[in-house]
Amino acid sequence: MIENNRENMSRGSGKRDAILDLQSMFQTTVQREVSTEGVGLHTGVFGHVKLVPAPADTGIVFRRSDLDNFQIEASGRNVARVSYATSLMKQGVLLSTTEHLLAAIYSSGLDNVYIDIDAIEVPILDGSAEPFLRLLDEAGVRKLRRRRRYLKITKPVEVIEADRRMGIYPCDEFHVQCYVDFPHPLVGAQQIEMTVQPESFRNLLARARTFCFERDIEPLRSMGLIRGGSLENAIVLTDDGVLNGPLRFLDEFGRHKALDLIGDLALVGLPLLGRVEAYKAGHALHTQLVSLVLSDSSAWTITTEDERPAEVLVRAEAPAAFI
Ligand SMILES: [Zn+2]
């Protein structure tokens, strides 16, 4: 199914959003353990992933279950080398290709979860975030008795590298604008702009798959990358078309880049209140910005939802389950 771009990219606020905001005052974790498995895109190593409930203020934490549950927090402080995927490393222990799973978790408003994994790389599955969203659906949400904390941007932070640039700016919601431009007849210039919420992520980005150019396959293989790549987990672009169509969206490439961006922004470690602009960026620039933000505590403040106007707070009823 091919859908068109531009519609519905932004969502207005209204009473329903106020209710969503109120519900999101509290931290969440998964209701139950769920698991999936598959091959890693770059290493080709088969691995099992299990999402496990975690207490409040844990954040998103990977545990290498093949290495005595060694913990690697999903934090910009643990970013390792970054090229065609985002890898985390702590004390020499590596975990690769975290971005699609993190995009699903972060966009879903899940604050705390252990991600147990027995391999060096997160499975690529179909190359999108949709299988991870299904996994989260299966897991369900448990609300915790602790207020959610947000990282609210208070002054601009920018990185520029040649013709690529990225910035984050003050805003009352989590908003992204992602611009890509690849010299290919099916890609060209594509721009995605949206407020990131569970629904908008599910509808607009989750199904967009990773992609590569056919001419890059051999060079990447010789670099030891995409050993697990196949026509089932990546769109392969030929010089003038697609090897394994159909596309899921006409602008699937731009949407996937926005998905990657959100997955990398998860590394700030808390839900974001800020507007992010990414212009021809990629994992390297994304993680550079995250590191810059984390290292400059004058650029943000930590806040909770109860600092919002009282009018919003009294309008909706909070679910009785967690009061
Ligand atoms: Zn990706």
Q: Quick one: 157 exposed, middle or buried, by C-beta within 10 A (0-12, 13-18, 19+)?
A: buried
**Ligand 1: centre distance to CA 194 (Å):** 18
Residues 6 or more apart whose CB falls under 8 angstroms from that of 301 comprise 151, 152, 154
pTM of the model: 0.88
Say what the pLDDT of residue 23 is: 52
**Ligand 1: centre distance to CA 183 (Å):** 19
**Share of residues in the chain with pLDDT > 70 (%):** 87
Say what the pLDDT of residue 83 is: 77
Instruction: Judge contact between 290 and 88, C-beta under 8 A.
Output: no
Ligand 1 (single-atom ion) residues, CB below 5 Å = 210, 260
**Ligand 1: centre distance to CA 256 (Å):** 6
Distance of CA 238 to the CA centre of its chain: 27
**Ligand 1: centre distance to CA 133 (Å):** 15
Residues 6 or more apart whose CB falls under 8 angstroms from that of 33 comprise 50, 51, 52, 53, 139
State the Cα torsion 107-303-75-167 to the nearest 10°.
80
Instruction: Judge contact between 78 and 59, C-beta under 8 A.
Output: no
Say what the pLDDT of residue 144 is: 95
Residue 205 gets which letter from DSSP? I
What residue ranges of the chain have pLDDT lower than 70? 1-23, 305-323
Separation between Cα atoms, residue 156 and residue 153, nearest integer Å: 7
Say what the pLDDT of residue 81 is: 73
**Ligand 1: centre distance to CA 17 (Å):** 29
Instruction: Judge contact between 158 and 167, C-beta under 8 A.
Output: yes
- pLDDT tens digits for range 110-138: 999 999 999 999 999 999 999 999 999 99
* 283 is annotated as an active-site residue: yes
Q: Quick one: 172 exposed, middle or buried, by C-beta within 10 A (0-12, 13-18, 19+)?
A: exposed
Instruction: Judge contact between 28 and 109, C-beta under 8 A.
Output: yes
Separation between Cα atoms, residue 244 and residue 127, nearest integer Å: 13
Say what the pLDDT of residue 8 is: 42
Separation between Cα atoms, residue 286 and residue 161, nearest integer Å: 12
Instruction: Judge contact between 29 and 110, C-beta under 8 A.
Output: yes
Say what the pLDDT of residue 58 is: 97
Among residues 42, 175, 283, 286, the one annotated as catalytic is 283
**Ligand 1: centre distance to CA 114 (Å):** 21
